[in-house]
């Protein structure tokens, strides 16, 4: 009985193997028939990459140039003494707003007033002598030479008065313009020699915003262009470009730029950092996702887009402005099917299949 069971088992295994090869042969023939019935796939369709595109339209948009800058006083002047003396009065505190002509340091008058009084007295005497000489000359009691000598004495006396007046006025060191008396160097009792400083004046109205303009943007900015500066404090001031240097810095290859902005209350300080935007005209632009920007083999920044024949093209672009919706770029023309997905995996001239078109 055991022997018979082993024969039955062997027969069953052999039958199963034969059945397996029979089924495999039948299925292989059917697959081959099906493969012969299907047309061969075209090489172009088999190699075309799938990309997603967005249709972006050309619009006219203001161009702005953005750079980092800082506020700066229009003028900074160290006021120095024109005569020697001891500071007798210091009527203005440092940091105060002062009008043009305000006395910042006053030296002791000493003998200067006496010298002025003496010169004025001598002038009155010379005037009387000159008048008498003229009258006597008309009557023939003075020669023309004597009349001229009296006139010369009068002129000399007038010059002496003028000299004494200047010496007297020099004891007052005055503000040369309206601004801020930013720093005092001399207090009451300080002896000032000729050329010693009284203090420093700065002019803050108008206020300057200065920065360095890249050489790629230098040709786009004109003197008189409107500009906006957002200060580190959050305050925004408006102004216009007043100066662009003609010679680039040899180290940075940038051009120095100055913007004049009104600061009537002089509350905006010098030395504040600012983000500056300067109007550079109006031109065509396209809204592009920042992720769509790529670099070509030459290292140029640009975008890849699909032509009418479904082939890829590359266009170098320049970012005009970055917004929350994307980057506005220049360098494209008309309506463009911009590749937004797959742009890093295709090359110029390659045939592609468009998977989806966005608005």
- Among 174, 203, 4, smallest CA distance to 81 is for 174
Q: What is the pLDDT of the chain when averaged over all its residues?
A: 86
Q: Do the beta carbons of residue 100 and residue 177 sit within 8 Å?
A: yes
39 confidence band (pLDDT: 50, 70, 90): very low
How many angstroms separate the CA atoms of 51 and 339, rounded? 7
Distance, in Å, from the CA atom of 62 to the CA atom of 284, rounded to the nearest integer, reads 9
Query: In CATH, what number does 49-62+284-358 get?
Result: 2.40.420.20
**Higher local confidence (pLDDT), 317 or 139:** 317
Token pair belonging to 153: 């004495």
The structural architecture, per CATH, of the domain 66-72+203-280 is: Beta Barrel (2.40)
CA atoms of 47 and 134, how far apart (whole Å): 117
pLDDT digit string, tens, across residues 314-344: 999 988 888 889 999 989 999 999 999 999 9
Q: Mean pLDDT, to the nearest integer, of 308-315? A: 94
Whether the upstream peptide bond of residue 206 has omega within 30° of 0, thus cis, is: yes
Domain ranges, ordered by start, for the chain: 49-62+284-358, 66-72+203-280, 109-170
- Exposed, middle or buried, 89 (CB in 10 Å: 0-12/13-18/19+)? middle
Q: Model confidence at 52, in pLDDT bands (50, 70, 90)?
A: very high
Q: How confident is the model at residue 42 (pLDDT cuts 50, 70, 90)?
A: very low
Q: Cα dihedral sign for 265, 266, 269, 271?
A: positive
pLDDT at 228 over 80: yes
Q: Distance between CA 255 and CA 244 in Å, rounded?
A: 7
Render pLDDT for 144-191 as a digit per residue (tens, 0 to 9). 888 898 889 889 989 998 988 888 888 999 999 999 999 999 999 999
Q: Is 252 helix (H, G, I), strand (E, B) or coil?
A: coil
CATH value of 109-170 in 1.20.272, 1.10.287, 1.10.1220, 3.10.450: 1.10.287
The per-residue pLDDT for range 229-254, each reduced to its tens digit, is 999 989 999 999 999 999 999 999 99
Say what the pLDDT of residue 108 is: 92
Mean pLDDT of 88-107: 94
Question: How many beta carbons lie within 10 A of that of residue 181, not counting itself?
Answer: 21
66-72+203-280: same fold as 49-62+284-358?
Answer: no
**Regarding beta strands 59-80 and 226-231, do their DSSP bridges make them parallel or antiparallel, or are they unpaired?**
unpaired
Going by the DSSP 8-state scheme, the letter that residue 232 receives in this structure is T
Is residue 15 predicted with pLDDT exceeding 90? no
């Amino acid at each position: 009985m055991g022997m018979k069971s082993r024969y039955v088992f062997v027969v069953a295994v052999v039958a199963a193997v034969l059945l397996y090869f029979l089924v495999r042969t039948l299925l292989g023939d059917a697959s081959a028939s099906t493969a012969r019935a299907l047309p061969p796939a075209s090489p172009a369709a088999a190699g075309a990459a799938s990309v997603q595109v967005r249709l972006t339209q050309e619009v006219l948009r203001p161009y702005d140039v953005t750079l980092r800058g800082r506020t700066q006083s229009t003028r900074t002047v160290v006021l120095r003494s024109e005569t020697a003396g001891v500071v007798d009065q210091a009527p203005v505190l440092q940091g105060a707003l002062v009008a043009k002509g305000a006395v910042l340091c006053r030296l002791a008058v000493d003998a200067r007033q006496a010298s002025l009084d003496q010169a004025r007295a001598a002038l009155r005497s010379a005037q009387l002598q000159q008048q008498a000489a003229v009258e006597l000359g008309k009557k023939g009691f003075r020669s023309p030479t004597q009349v001229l000598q009296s006139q010369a004495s009068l002129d000399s006396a007038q010059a002496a008065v003028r000299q004494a007046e200047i010496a007297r006025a020099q004891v007052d060191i005055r503000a040369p313009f309206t601004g801020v008396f930013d720093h005092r160097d001399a207090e009451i009792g300080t002896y000032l020699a000729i050329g010693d400083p009284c203090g420093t004046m700065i002019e803050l109205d108008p206020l300057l915003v200065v920065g360095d303009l890249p050489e790629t943007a230098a040709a786009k900015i004109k003197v008189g262009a409107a500009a906006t500066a957002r200060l580190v404090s959050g305050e925004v001031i408006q102004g216009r470009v007043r100066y662009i240097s003609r010679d680039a810095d040899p180290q940075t290859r940038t051009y120095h730029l100055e913007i004049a902005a009104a600061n009537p209350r002089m509350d905006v300080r010098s030395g504040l950092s600012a983000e500056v935007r300067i109007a550079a005209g109006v031109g065509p632009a396209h809204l592009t996702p920042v992720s769509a920007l790529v670099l070509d083999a030459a290292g140029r920044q640009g975008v890849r887009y699909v032509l009418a024949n479904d082939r890829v093209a590359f266009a170098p672009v320049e970012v005009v402005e970055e917004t929350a919706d994307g980057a506005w770029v220049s360098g494209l023309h008309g309506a463009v099917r911009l590749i937004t997905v797959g742009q890093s995996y295709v090359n110029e001239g390659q045939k592609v299949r468009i998977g989806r078109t966005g608005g």
